[in-house]
Amino acid sequence: DALGRSFQCATVQLDFQLPIRFKLSYVKSDGQKETPVIVHRAIMGSFERMIAILTEHFAGKWPLWLSPKQVMVVPISGNSVDYALGIKKAFHEKKFFVECDVRDLTMQKKVRDAQINQFNYILVVGAQEQENETVNVRTRNNKVCGEKKVAEVLQLLCRERDEKLLEAVMGQKPKA
């Protein structure tokens, strides 16, 4: 987990009692009856245990492919709401969990709320972004990735999600 502790997730158990209780048997190649051994296995352990371990490990900052809050679109003003809703639709069509914050609050407050709610990516849009068909990308850790074409952002985030990457692709320097 995030603190370096290890947990038991998978289990394999040999059960010698249930075959006797259920009077199970099989015939060996030499014709003798034999009582089998039952092998119980739980590859992930309990579902709840696995979720608890993942929650602890990621400290609530889920990778994009596991996150229920992947993308938040933030219009700077009421004039940008239609463009923001179009961006939301484009991401929704690519199967992202996406929301659009159209509340009558400052952009800074909307961005801060999205960060507190652990949205992986926050896409800020205004008149300039609408004119350029771009979005201004930020991460939940307040890393400003800058203005990027919508198609480029969609492509990068689809890759991050589909390849189940643990690290964010936006704002990362290319690996040498």
pLDDT of residue 175: 46
Which CATH number is 71-162's, of 3.40.50.800, 3.30.300.30, 1.10.10.60, 3.30.450.40?
3.40.50.800
| CA–CA separation, 139 and 37 (whole Å) | 53
Give the pLDDT confidence score for residue 2 in this predicted structure. 64
Residue pair 137/170 in contact by the 8 Å Cβ criterion:
yes
Judge whether residue 131 has pLDDT over 70.
yes
For residue range 61-104, list pLDDT tens digits in order.
Answer: 999 999 999 999 999 999 999 999 999 999 999 999 999 999 99
Whole-number pLDDT of residue 76: 97
pTM comes to 0.74
Q: What is the pLDDT of residue 56?
A: 85
Indicate if the pLDDT at residue 129 is higher than 80.
yes
Q: What is the pLDDT of residues 1-45, one digit of tens each?
A: 666 777 667 778 999 999 999 999 999 999 999 999 999 887 766
Looking at the chain, the domain(s) classified CATH 3.40.50.800 span: 71-162
